[in-house]
Amino acid sequence: MKLASIQTAHGARAALAVADGYIDLHATDPGLPSCTKALLAASPAIHKAAADTAKNPKAVKYAVNAVKLLPPVPNPGKILCIGLNYRDHAIEGNRPIPPEPVLFGKFPNTLIAHGEPIIIPKVAEKVDYEAELVIVIGKTGRHIPNSPEAFAYVGGYTCGHDVSARDWQFRGEEKQWIIGKTFDTFAPTGPVLVTADEIPDPHKLQVQLRLNGTTLQNSNTKEFIFGVPHLLWFLSQCITLEPGDLIFTGTPPGVGIARKPPILLKAGDVAEVEIEGIGTLKNPCVAES
């Protein structure tokens, strides 16, 4: 399934994305959860019922241009992020391959949906782009094994954009990764969440970023240093992963700060993250007022 979250007169609702719009799942079948997070945690029977709404002639459906999209999971409990997880990105930066995942986090203030603007802060001069595959957790887990069994904890995948203020991220001797990554609007996700059954191998997906139509990042998740099972194992040693949690899996080479001269985000730009099998996340950039 391709799931979305939409804004309705009744609040945020989980929706099934179909060719001609979005089906409000709970309005179509009151037995279905009203939010994406609860839907991810539900039983296979509930998942099947959600998919079957596409065949319901009385489904409550909104046209694509008649509804406001929200982030696929508007209320994640955690937004976890992995740094330096592509071999070709490490090579690009002349950095050694890390022996274990590099972890940082973002906060809910960073989340925006497909189509919403990325705000370029007044106090940041080096705002960069990072296209990323995002894992969406579908099942509660702690001490998840580093094996194919780990995929049972994945609810699905979406496109993510890890917008980064490099002048804040790398300021001072101690660096400031979290503050450089957590300005308002710095985590666009969407437009949809594709359930894990439709992505049989997340380690063979093309990942691209286009800025104003020009491709600046173009790699494949086969370049992952740490695959999905390893990431879930590593994180769940310390953190209970729960349905709806987001894990940004790192970015491929081609980031703006590494270019000569650098290419950085500015007001008027349009950034697109496209991931094979998922879709294209598109956001304009605007100056902070």
The pLDDT of residue 37 is: 96
What is the pLDDT, as a whole number, of residue 88?
86
pLDDT, tens digit, for every residue of 220-243? Answer: 999 999 999 999 999 999 999 999
284/289 Cα distance (integer angstroms): 15
Instruction: Report the pLDDT value the prediction gives residue 248, as an integer from 0 to 100.
Output: 98
pLDDT of residue 91: 83
The reported pLDDT for the residue numbered 81 is: 97
Could you tell me the mean pLDDT of each successive run of 10 residues in the chain, 289 residues long? 96 96 97 96 96 96 94 98 91 86 96 98 97 98 98 98 95 84 98 97 98 98 97 98 98 94 98 98 98
Structural domain boundaries in the chain: 2-69, 79-287
**What is the pLDDT, as a whole number, of residue 94?**
80
What's the pLDDT tens digit per position in 80-114?
999 989 998 888 778 889 999 999 999 999 999 99
What values do phi and psi take at 122, rounded to 5? -60, -30
Beta partners for residue 83, in sequence order: 102
pLDDT of residue 268: 98
pLDDT of the residue at 218: 97
Output the pLDDT for position 175: 79
The whole-number pLDDT of residue 172 equals 80
CATH architecture, range 79-287? Alpha-Beta Complex (3.90)
3-state helix/strand/coil string of the chain: CEEEEEEECCEEEEEEEECCEEEEHHHHCCCCCCCHHHHHHCCHHHHHHHHHHHHCCCCCEECHHHCEEECCCCCCCCEEEEECCEHHHHHHCCCCCCCCCEEEEECHHHEECCCCCEEECCCCCCEECCEEEEEEECCCECCCCCCHHHHHHEEEEEEEECCEEHHHHCCCCCCCHHHHHCCCCCEEEEEEEEEHHHCCCCCCCEEEEEECCEEEEEEEHHHECCCHHHHHHHHHCCCCECCCCEEECCCCCCCHHHCCCCCCCCCCCEEEEEECCCEEEEEEEEECC
pLDDT score, position 90: 84
Q: Which CA distances in Å does 109 have to 80, 188, 217, 228?
A: 14, 11, 26, 26
